Structure 1
Amino acid sequence: MPVAAAADSRARAIDQFYHTAWTVREGAPGQVTALAQTSDGYLWLGTQTGLYRFDGVTFEHYRPREGGDFLASSVASLYAPPSGGLWVGFRYGVASFVEGDRATHYAASSGLPTATIYAIGGTPDGRIWAATFNGLARLDGQRWSLVGASMGLPGNRARNLSVDREGRLWVATDQALAWLPRNGAHFELATHAVGRVNRIAEAPDGSIWVAEADGGVRPAWAGDSPPEDHGPSLNLSSAGLLFDRDGALWMPTLGDGIRRVPRVSDLPRAQIEASGTAAQRFIERDGLSSDYLSAVIQDREGSIWVGGSRGLDRFRVSRLLPAPLSPGASDFALVAAKGHGVWVGTKNRPLTRVDATRVQPGDFPEAITAASRDREATWLAGPHGVWRLKDGMPERFASLPAEDYTGVQAIVGDGKGGAWLSINRPGIYHYTEGAWVYDPMPAIANDPAPLVLMGDSRGRLWMGFARNTIVIRDAGHDTQLGPSDGLAVGNVTALLENSDAVWVGGELGIGVVVGRQARTIVTRGEPLRGVSGLVRDARGDFWANTAQGVARIGAAHMARALQDSAYRPPVTLFDSLDGLPGTPAQFRPLPTAVVADDGRLWFATTSGVVSIDPADVPRNPLPPPVSIRSITTDAGNWPVAATVDLPAHTERLRIGYTATSLAMPERVRFRYRMEGIDTRWRDAGTEREAVYTDPPPGHYRFRVTAANEDGVWNEEGASVTIVVAPTFFQTPWFVLICMLLAFAALWLSFYVRMRRMEAQLRARLHERHAERERIARELHDTLLQSIQGLMMRFQAIANRVPADQPLRIAMEGALDRAEEALVEARDRVRDLRGHAGESFALDVALVELARVYATEHTVPVLVHAAIDMRDMDPLARDELYGIAREAVHNAIAHAEASRIDVVIETEGTELVLRVRDDGRGIDDAVLRGGGRAGHWGLRGIQERAQAIGGTAAFASRVEGGTEVIVRAAVDRVFPSRARWWRRWYG
């Protein structure tokens, strides 16, 4: 399997691993008796109080949802088959197989011996074996049976078992250590000279090692070669055995912490005492959760897990390797040593040479607060003077130039055998020609003491000051750079030359100086702060010691940022999770980062020194398994299944998920998406819960993916289908009903509006009729009565004139014309007062009208009605009656007609009223003008037709006469005959 560590971890001491402890205070269970990791990445903990699983963040007390609860609680053994699932062995003869949320239980009824199950294992042929107090048991189908004696295995008890990489089953009994060949049917004895074996492990070379209950760890079988050729016997009492992937042996103990032997095969063949140097020791005083340990495994990412009486511990290879310095050291001044490693000087410990895994303490007791190395010498400076290293030993160079100083800040050689020195007082000192020369540097007013010094390849001296100031001294000439030149890094605490550019580190980030111009390099994400060390590795990548941690920026990215001021290079950050202790010093000793001759990078912090090989950075290539753990709403918790049905009124939906990357779970990143709600992936960062408020009803698919600490994504991730039921008012039927009701309400409002408008129209018509009747009354009671009286007086006067007199004839003619005018006036009054709708249907009224006209004017008026008019609208009846009466009157008065026909019929959906005569017709000019001047008959006909929604047309017929044609909708004239929707509209 791929592993997280790129280098051989055996080069590290046990205290150089990144160690994390989880105790009961952090939620871990106590009394851990067994550990296993299943194929889904979960770490399982068997305890005396039940079964737990751990995703790197949360401990969960596991109880199956299907198959019933466990038949026992005290777990004795765990086995995770490669195909998935977990076997759990309990005390007193109970075993269970766990797969997802379902558990299958086995007890005495299934043939399992009623005794403690010490170990469970599976062979490549698919058989499951159990080592019990009553012997070796095998599962056949759903039945267990004891098979030890029948397969040639001696002994009455099986204390432990293990399966090696060749598929052999190893079993330790109370009498022997034996192995069963792959697909074999009979055991073979490994040796009879064994004690009470309680643990079995396979070494990387294939040899089998055992831990004996009476004390001692040793190889017990090595095929055809003697076991002792594969390692010595270790006089150690061990409660477990584990050879990690690099071959180191880990041994938990019952009361003495954890022991580790990095290279067992390299140990002397003689027996090794427990107090010797062979076994490294890590105990509770070093941070272990407990000294009483009983289980150890290595997970798929390479971390070592140890379980004990008080919790759980993890040891993993960190990217940053801590230097094994003596405790209590502080204020580390670093300088590269020749060949490999670095010299570390402190204020309170002797000068020490440190390699990746080794320390060479020296006997030089002086405190060192500044160091540097050039082509000529390695310089060291402290409270009591300046030294140069010669053949690995400090040689006094000079005393300090002042006695009342408060600290040496920086030192660098001048390339001519002398040195430049900065102490915490104004100015700078130059040792030349056997003496110190003081330069007060009056041009630097803000802070006259440089914090950092660097000599470049052109022989210039670079001095970095506080508050954005750099001074470049070249052959006695000083060039000052500041904020006006683009320098904006705050206090200058690091300088690095690279070709024609000088990179600058400060409290506000990283800058670069090219020529006389400076600018800041803005990185992606959080800006870098507190940069106190800058180096480049062999590949050209930049490394910075910052307040956030050790930052790496690729060479190509930095080159692009140098050319494009808008480009933001990405940063890889190594922080406390990678093994970085403390934070880098901000003032002294400086610099805090150096490159060793072997290419290894070293960084100093306030709490220690770490190193990293930039060509061999450990990387985790395994995508983390992702799973959905919980689905919760305001109504409660719902079992996680392929499809989860949620009730209506789901107001708040919480989906818990996790990824089982156990190396650095703190850096696992998630993204999720609810298909049907989210239009894109949501970046959840390290959050392990998605929350949706008031999800609408529907079918959704929730997907979540995760990436490990190195950005390796599990693109498949995990998913679940969520079905949110609708409420009754969210169903399509309810929406349809609401739409129908809304349409009905709109329809009703429109109907009411139309009825109201119709009522208003009727009121106006009634007002008009009332006004016409009033006018008719006034005309009849005043004008006509007065004219009648005048005619009677005039007739009386005419009667006095003799009949044969011309005057009498003239007066009679005038009276005749007055009589005609009076008749016509009475007809007009009758028209005003006439209302055919009060008593008669339209056809009856027209017949009566024809009779009256025929009697008075001797002109036959023939009425032909082809339809039933009993349910005609009264207003429409009045208007049609008025139109017919006006047309008949006009024909009698003006057309000199001898016959008038009035016809009412239907044509399609229209009612047609025709009034035609055989008179002299109407002039075209009169038709175009809408009637004669001063006459309103034709216009009145048109207005009456429009009042009932119809039209009126006038035409002179070819055979002579005039025809008036009025058309109106039948639905308008006869509302009761209209279709139901037309009746609604009115």
Structure 2
Amino acid sequence: MWLLISFTSKMMALDPNNRITQYAHSAWRLQDGLFSGAPHAITQTKDGYVWIGTQNELLRFDGVRLSKWEPPAGAQLPQSRIWTLLASRDGSLWIGTDSGLAHWNKPELITFPKVDGHVNSMIERQNGEIWFSRVQRFDQSGGICKVLGERIKCYRKPDGIPLDTANALAEDTSGNLWFGDSSIVVRWNGSSLRAFSPPALKGNLSDGVTAIAGAPDGSVWLGFAIRGPGLGLQRVVNDVLTPFVTPELDSSTLIVNTLFFDRQNCLWIGTESQGIYRIHGRTVDHFGVSDGLSSNFVDAFYEDHEGDLWIATSGGIDCFRDLRVASFTGREGLPMEEVDSVLASRDGTVWAGGPENLVSIRGRHVSSIQSHKGLPGNQVTSLLEDHAGRLWVGVDNSLFIYEEGKFRIVTKQDGSQVGFVVGIAEDRNQNVWVETTGPRRCLVRISNLKVQEEFPEPQMPAARKLAVAQDGSLWLGLLSGDLARLKANELDIFRFKNSSTPSMESMVKEIFITSDGAVFGATSFGLIAWKNGTQRVLTTRNGLTCNAIYSLIADNQGTLWLYTQCGLVGIPNAELQKWWSEGDSSLQLYSVGAADGAQPAFVPFEGATKSPDGSLWFANYSGLQTINPANIRGNPIPPPVHIENVIADHRNYPASDTIALPANTIDLEIDYTALSFANPQKVAFRYKLEGRDKTWQGAGARRQAFYNDLPPGHYQFRVIASNNDGVWNERGAMLAFSIAPTWYQTRAFQAACVVLAALIVWLIYRLRVRYVAKSIAARFDERLAERTRIARDLHDTLLQTIQGSKLVADDALDMPSEPIRMRKALEQLSRWLQQAGQEGRAALNSLRGPVTSADDLSDALKRALEATPHDSLATTFSVHGNIRQLHPIVRDEVYRIGQEAIRNAHAHSGGTHLDVQLRYMDDLSLRIADDGPSATASNFSEDKEGHYGLKGMRERASRIGARLTIAGNAGCGTEVCVVVPGGIAFQDAGESRRSWLKTLLGTGKSRRRKS
């Protein structure tokens, strides 16, 4: 359950030093739905949590969230109705119920089932012992009991205790125990006792003594459930019960439920139907339902670590805390609803002016001079105390001096009224300067109680406020938002760029001069200032919470206090000096906001003053507000910080030391708190998730941290907090948790991925190396193949032709005497040399294109036959099948094989006939056969040394995937046959396969059916 503390009312009192103080009061009532039953007890454990016991449950409160406490699994309280709570010094919580006692020592709950009856009260003695009182139901073991470890020892009549039951229980400063029942009160030191039996209790059937409190001065106060002489509230003095009687209170008239001494030694009295009384010395304050208290039936008090006072009533829980700014309004005796000016005189009297009233305040005493009852008019305007202690008062359109209870009017030289006074000041020459607004604006100088000079507008610029500097110069706060100085009858105007056309919005609302001669003006656009010729404007850029300033005053420490639209702001003198040297600097300011009691508003005349005790007073139309900066008690206690809950993917986890979250945890919420109750709204947080956040994350007042992108791993969450005065708990709280990885997020899987990635990189590298090596080898092979091809071409063409030419030449040289034969030989030699040239050029051209032309293979073979000698062999050439387009490389290689075979037959066969057959079937085949008589298989097994014809034929056949066979038998000739598969040889082989596939799939049948 979430709460937002709201201050429903304020309660005025005198503090122990007789200073006016005021409590902010917040209440949580039964009808708010926060409690299922009336609260009976309240306490605060060492960890900072506030605990509330009600009729039906035990609640825990952190200042913002109120939650029901649940016992640990397998344990339970003796009874759900809680009557009393005790937070012991060891940090544990003692719980007194309607049917027994329990001890919560986190994380263990210990119950004492043998303790029968209603536990009324519990104390922790100075020696650390835990004692409690009870009302028995079944056993008669005694009404006063002590805790001994995990057992209980009770005391009764055989032990010298004259009581079977006991209501209240307390210890005085001497270590004596005090307790009582319906008829007597006992003081016991463990061995002897003293009994007090007020006569009025004889025959009493009620609770009798209901509350006992030991005072710091050693005295003891007793509260009774019955009012009357000797009862109500009594103080034990010299073993005699005496009432407390003042003009405000006769304690015998009270019906007391509870008593409590706070840290200021004030006694708080909770009554049955009269609310709360507070006693300090002889001063008595009262708070009741009319002041905002949730009920006049008060059950319990508790003062927390920061000094806030908690009250349990039948209607709810109330909390009082001392406000830094106290308000003085009609509730405190101010007789008017509007305050327009305020002035503190040297004798400590605070004067307040407004409609039909001039009010004087001294402490709690308020007196008023009302219109037509001594006040010479209706509206009180400006106020001034002069050097002689006389009070100058502007009333309506006149100016009066109030002295010895009488008003004396001050008029102009012609006897007319001075006018409507809006500003007034006195210089060191005892001249009183007055700024009036009508019938026309005018600055008036008064000396010896008479008007001496007038400076009307426009001779003098229209002003609203006046102030006198130590050098005697008069400063004016102008309607235009500027400052003006009148010195030795010379006027200087200092204009500020943010000022505008004269109006109520732009005017200087207040002017103040500090001891070092700095002049400050309150405006709606910031704080304007002049010092030694330097002008400055202080705004939100320099750290102000807002620019609109209503009034200002300096305290005894030199701090300048601004009454602004958004609160009271203090500027220390050191920060002011820093601002004068560096106009753009950001200042460290002291802020007092609405939660501290500040309720600023603009007033038309004197809005601020300082009383002799150092208190600052501010008028805010509806009343007065006061603060004494010297007495501001800062909150030095850093708030305890706790991590309360962890929610991961909508599942709650207890905030233990270490939390193991499952894999794939996405949404993570961490709830934390800081236990400062002085002003929970001003508690600020910072947190950091180590392993995720590099710096501290400012969370403001937010009490949750959210993460939705955390990878698996171990984390430490740290949170720190500051209280309402900016005091940080740097230690804070820490929570360690881990998020488990999924199988693919484990280190083993990640290591395997790394190894696999390295292996893939290595394989890619190896494949790349192999590819590069193969590419280099391919280039080498290509170069070698090209060289081999050129060698084959040279052997099959040029060298063969040259060899044939040599044979012709040799034949001619054998018969030099036959000219005709010589001529034929030379002609043949010429043709062959011509052919050798052509073949050489063809070899060169083959490096750039096909060896043969684009003509058919059959034509090329015919030319090869025609180029051979015709006198040795008779040749026949035949082509079988339809001529088809051949692949150029296949055509070239088959041609070279055939050319080599033809030349070999002419050169080596020794036969008479050569047959060449070219077949275009499914495959391409070429057959060359002769009828030479001397051929044997061994002649074709390998080339002779220096001859590469057969090797070249095999290499060419292998290059195009052909099958080459060379067969020869003695007497039968030699046959060379090369067969090239059709898929390799023919360029239209792919189309043929597609046609065959279509036929196989039925496409051809469809066509035939269509035809």
- 2:806 equivalent among 783, 787, 791: 791
Residue correspondence of structure 1 range 242-281 to structure 2 within 5 A: 242-263=260-281, 266=282, 279-281=284-286
- 1:106 equivalent among 107, 112, 129: 112
Tell me, yes or no, if the aligned pair for 1:345 and 1:369 is still in contact at 8 Å. yes
Are 1:390 and 2:403 matched, yes or no?
Answer: yes
Report SS of the residue matched to 1:792: helix
Where does residue 44 of structure 2 map in the other structure? 37
Where does residue 844 of structure 1 map in the other structure? none
Tell me, yes or no, if the aligned pair for 1:14 and 1:280 is still in contact at 8 Å. no
Within 2, Cα distance between the matches of 1:679 and 1:730? 23
Residue correspondence of structure 1 range 331-346 to structure 2 within 5 A: 331-346=339-354
Asked which structure has the greater RCO (Cα within 8 Å, sep 6+), the reply is: 1
Are 1:533 and 2:533 matched, yes or no?
Answer: no
Are 1:212 and 2:234 matched, yes or no?
Answer: no
Where does residue 19 of structure 1 map in the other structure? 25
Are 1:58 and 2:65 matched, yes or no?
Answer: yes
Where does residue 496 of structure 1 map in the other structure? 512
Query: 1:645-668 deviations in whole A, cap 9, x for unaligned?
Result: 222223232222222222222323
Within 1, Cα distance between the matches of 2:434 and 2:43? 61
Where does residue 72 of structure 1 map in the other structure? 79
Where does residue 201 of structure 1 map in the other structure? 213
Query: 1:687-738 deviations in whole A, cap 9, x for unaligned?
Result: 3223333233332322223332333333332222222222333322122122
Report SS of the residue matched to 1:158: coil
1:32 and 1:762, CA in 2 relative to 1: closer, same or farther beyond 3 A? same
Give, as a single letter, the amino acid of the residue that structure 1 aligns with 2:513. E
Deviation of 1:52 (Å) = 1.0
Residue correspondence of structure 1 range 353-392 to structure 2 within 5 A: 353-363=360-370, 364-365=374-375, 366-376=378-388, 377-391=390-404
1:491 and 1:26, CA in 2 relative to 1: closer, same or farther beyond 3 A? farther
Give, as a single letter, the amino acid of the residue that structure 1 aligns with 2:315. R
Give, as a single letter, the amino acid of the residue that structure 1 aligns with 2:298. L
Tell me, yes or no, if the aligned pair for 2:435 and 2:463 is still in contact at 8 Å. no
Query: 1:36-74 deviations in whole A, cap 9, x for unaligned?
Result: 121222221111120112222221211133552334221
- 1:451 equivalent among 464, 469, 474: 464
- 1:235 equivalent among 240, 250, 253: 253
Within 1, Cα distance between the matches of 2:758 and 2:402? 98
Where does residue 923 of structure 1 map in the other structure? none
Query: 1:8-48 deviations in whole A, cap 9, x for unaligned?
Result: 82456998322222235767425111111212222211111
Give, as a single letter, the amino acid of the residue that structure 2 aligns with 1:151. D
Report SS of the residue matched to 2:163: coil
- 1:154 equivalent among 139, 148, 162: 162
Deviation of 1:592 (Å) = 1.6
Are 1:607 and 2:622 matched, yes or no?
Answer: yes
Where does residue 907 of structure 2 map in the other structure? none
Are 1:287 and 2:292 matched, yes or no?
Answer: yes
1:756 and 1:63, CA in 2 relative to 1: closer, same or farther beyond 3 A? same
1:526 and 1:495, CA in 2 relative to 1: closer, same or farther beyond 3 A? closer
Within 1, Cα distance between the matches of 2:340 and 2:790? 122
1:784 and 1:556, CA in 2 relative to 1: closer, same or farther beyond 3 A? closer
Give, as a single letter, the amino acid of the residue that structure 1 aligns with 2:384. S
1:855 and 1:482, CA in 2 relative to 1: closer, same or farther beyond 3 A? closer
Query: 1:399-435 deviations in whole A, cap 9, x for unaligned?
Result: 9999999965323346555541232775324265856
- 1:97 equivalent among 96, 103, 119: 103
Within 2, Cα distance between the matches of 1:540 and 1:671? 33
Report SS of the residue matched to 2:242: helix
Tell me, yes or no, if the aligned pair for 1:422 and 1:449 is still in contact at 8 Å. no
Tell me, yes or no, if the aligned pair for 2:464 and 2:508 is still in contact at 8 Å. yes
Query: 1:139-197 deviations in whole A, cap 9, x for unaligned?
Result: 3332335422242111222112123344333221234222332xx3x451341227411
Give, as a single letter, the amino acid of the residue that structure 2 aligns with 1:38. T
Where does residue 662 of structure 1 map in the other structure? 677
1:118 and 1:787, CA in 2 relative to 1: closer, same or farther beyond 3 A? same
Where does residue 430 of structure 1 map in the other structure? 444
1:484 and 1:572, CA in 2 relative to 1: closer, same or farther beyond 3 A? closer
1:18 and 1:38, CA in 2 relative to 1: closer, same or farther beyond 3 A? same
Query: 1:319-347 deviations in whole A, cap 9, x for unaligned?
Result: 22333342652133111223113101112
- 2:566 equivalent among 524, 532, 548: 548
Within 2, Cα distance between the matches of 1:302 and 1:138? 30
Where does residue 135 of structure 2 map in the other structure? 133
Give, as a single letter, the amino acid of the residue that structure 2 aligns with 1:289. S
Report SS of the residue matched to 1:388: strand
TM-score by length of 2: 0.71
Give, as a single letter, the amino acid of the residue that structure 2 aligns with 1:494. E
Tell me, yes or no, if the aligned pair for 2:244 and 2:252 is still in contact at 8 Å. no
Are 1:412 and 2:425 matched, yes or no?
Answer: yes
- 1:744 equivalent among 744, 759, 762: 759
Where does residue 901 of structure 2 map in the other structure? none
Where does residue 982 of structure 1 map in the other structure? none
Stretch deviating more after TM superposition (429-438 or 457-466): 429-438
TM-score by length of 1: 0.73
Are 1:118 and 2:120 matched, yes or no?
Answer: yes
Within 2, Cα distance between the matches of 1:525 and 1:727? 51
1:207 and 1:500, CA in 2 relative to 1: closer, same or farther beyond 3 A? closer
Within 1, Cα distance between the matches of 2:165 and 2:661? 53
Query: 1:606-629 deviations in whole A, cap 9, x for unaligned?
Result: 432122223322222323222222
Residue correspondence of structure 1 range 618-629 to structure 2 within 5 A: 618-629=633-644
Give, as a single letter, the amino acid of the residue that structure 2 aligns with 1:21. A
Within 1, Cα distance between the matches of 2:714 and 2:173? 47
Are 1:173 and 2:176 matched, yes or no?
Answer: no
Are 1:47 and 2:54 matched, yes or no?
Answer: yes
1:454 and 1:610, CA in 2 relative to 1: closer, same or farther beyond 3 A? same
Q: Matched residue pairs, number?
A: 812
Tell me, yes or no, if the aligned pair for 1:379 and 1:412 is still in contact at 8 Å. no
Are 1:473 and 2:478 matched, yes or no?
Answer: no
Tell me, yes or no, if the aligned pair for 1:153 and 1:187 is still in contact at 8 Å. no
Residue correspondence of structure 1 range 559-574 to structure 2 within 5 A: 559-574=577-592
1:693 and 1:425, CA in 2 relative to 1: closer, same or farther beyond 3 A? farther
Give, as a single letter, the amino acid of the residue that structure 1 aligns with 2:162. P
Within 1, Cα distance between the matches of 2:363 and 2:412? 33
1:188 and 1:737, CA in 2 relative to 1: closer, same or farther beyond 3 A? same
Are 1:557 and 2:575 matched, yes or no?
Answer: yes
Within 1, Cα distance between the matches of 2:665 and 2:368? 68
1:15 and 1:551, CA in 2 relative to 1: closer, same or farther beyond 3 A? closer
- 2:524 equivalent among 507, 514, 522: 507
Deviation of 1:760 (Å) = 5.2
- Structure with higher Rg: it is 2
Are 1:421 and 2:423 matched, yes or no?
Answer: no
Tell me, yes or no, if the aligned pair for 1:15 and 1:282 is still in contact at 8 Å. no
Deviation of 1:229 (Å) = 8.8
Where does residue 88 of structure 1 map in the other structure? 95
Within 1, Cα distance between the matches of 2:512 and 2:658? 59
Give, as a single letter, the amino acid of the residue that structure 1 aligns with 2:75. G
Stretch deviating more after TM superposition (48-57 or 650-659): 650-659
1:85 and 1:125, CA in 2 relative to 1: closer, same or farther beyond 3 A? same
Tell me, yes or no, if the aligned pair for 2:172 and 2:215 is still in contact at 8 Å. no
Give, as a single letter, the amino acid of the residue that structure 2 aligns with 1:500. G
Tell me, yes or no, if the aligned pair for 2:22 and 2:325 is still in contact at 8 Å. no
Tell me, yes or no, if the aligned pair for 2:173 and 2:215 is still in contact at 8 Å. no
Runs of 5+ unmatched residues, structure 1: 1-6, 267-277, 835-850, 858-873, 879-986
